[in-house]
């Protein structure tokens, strides 16, 4: 796996990687992470993969982090 770029963002760490014919967009916030795999055939190089990271996508990623945290806190409360 090769790191192609670290993409700056104030709320989440974004890393673009290349591995096995795919680009991986990895988002990290606190203890949680999300990874999206994109075939290298579906975008025009790493620039094409970076173009996928628009405001609407970032908003969805951040909302998903909130959902992940809420689900985890709920299970800890029920079972902790």
Could you tell me the pTM of the whole model?
A: 0.93
Length of the chain, please? 80
Q: What is the Cα–Cα distance from 29 to 6, expressed in whole angstroms?
A: 14
Count: domains in the chain: 1
Average pLDDT estimate for 39-67: 97
Q: Residue 50's domain spans which residues?
A: 2-79
Calculate what percentage of the chain has a pLDDT beyond 70. 100
Average pLDDT estimate for 62-73: 98
Q: What is the Cα–Cα distance from 57 to 73, expressed in whole angstroms?
A: 24
């Amino acid at each position: 796996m090769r790191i192609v770029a670290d993409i700056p963002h104030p709320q989440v760490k974004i890393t673009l990687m290349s591995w096995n014919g795919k680009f991986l967009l990895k988002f990290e916030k606190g203890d949680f992470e999300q990874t999206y795999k994109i075939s290298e055939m579906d975008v025009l190089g790493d620039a094409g993969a970076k173009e996928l990271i628009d405001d609407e996508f970032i908003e969805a990623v951040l909302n998903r982090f909130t959902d992940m945290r809420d689900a985890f806190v709920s299970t800890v409360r029920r079972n902790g």
